[in-house]
């Protein structure tokens, strides 16, 4: 083998940042091998780990973080050096290319406008009728696999209303604003709704 050249295509970075690819190397000599990894750019060392046993070496590679937040090709290259006690060192150049895309999500409310300020989204509504239902939709522009969501609520200081009741499917989320009609005084709903996305 003169070179290891692998292309990892079409990876949605935010969904796969904790995922790993594993390359296994099986020893054909009757003694333990060690692996030394040289990097053309030491920055990428953080994405590599290895598991060495008497029989083989497993090289684990995490999906690199896409700092540009756009469609990027990330190239990691260097040398793999296989070392044993009684045999000459074997050096194999490697090139790993990752085509990493950002996760693009269209998120909108069917009833109200949504504004963005200081890293948070705000529902543009000065009042909401009790027991009404808010409908939110998500559309993933560049990802066709199933995306899992986790939704939780954080009640803030001054909140006077129950936390909304949620129902959801793959693309739509419904939040029911709970309350008692017999109460004439308006109540303040003050909470944060957190949405998290993952592949499992």
CA distance 89 to 151: 53
Judge whether residue 79 has pLDDT over 90. Answer: yes
CATH of span 4-101? 2.60.40.10
**Closest residue by Cα to residue 151 from 131, 133, 132, 165:** 165
Judge whether residue 17 has pLDDT over 90. Answer: no
| Contact partners, residue 126, CB within 8 Å, separation at least 6 | none
Digit-coded pLDDT (tens) for 133-167: 888 888 776 666 666 677 888 988 988 888 888 88
Domain ranges across the chain: 4-101, 105-198
| Contact partners, residue 177, CB within 8 Å, separation at least 6 | 128, 129, 130, 131, 132, 133, 134, 161, 164, 189
- Confidence (pLDDT) at 143: 61
- Confidence (pLDDT) at 127: 82
**SS3 label, residue 43:** helix
Digit-coded pLDDT (tens) for 43-52: 888 889 888 8
- Rounded to 5 degrees, φ, ψ at 162 are -65, 155
């Amino acid at each position: 083998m003169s070179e290891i050249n692998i292309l990892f295509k079409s990876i949605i970075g935010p969904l796969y940042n904790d995922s790993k690819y594993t390359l296994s190397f099986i020893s054909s000599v009757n003694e333990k091998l060690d692996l030394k990894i040289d990097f053309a750019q030491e920055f990428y060392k953080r994405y590599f780990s290895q598991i060495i046993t008497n029989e083989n070496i497993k090289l684990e590679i995490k999906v690199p973080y896409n700092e540009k937040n756009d469609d990027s090709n990330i190239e990691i290259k260097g040398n793999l050096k296989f070392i044993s006690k009684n045999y000459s060192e074997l050096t194999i150049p490697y090139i790993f290319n990752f085509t990493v895309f950002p996760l693009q999500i269209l998120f909108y409310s069917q009833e109200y406008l949504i504004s963005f300020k200081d890293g948070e989204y705000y529902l543009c509504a000065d009042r909401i009728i009790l027991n009404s239902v808010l409908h939110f939709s998500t559309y993933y522009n560049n990802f066709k696999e199933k995306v899992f969501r986790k939704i939780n609520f954080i009640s803030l200081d001054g909140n006077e209303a129950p936390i909304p009741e949620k129902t959801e499917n793959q693309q739509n989320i419904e939040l029911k604003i709970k309350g008692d009609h017999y109460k004439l005084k308006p109540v303040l709903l003050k909470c944060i709704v957190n949405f998290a996305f993952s592949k499992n």
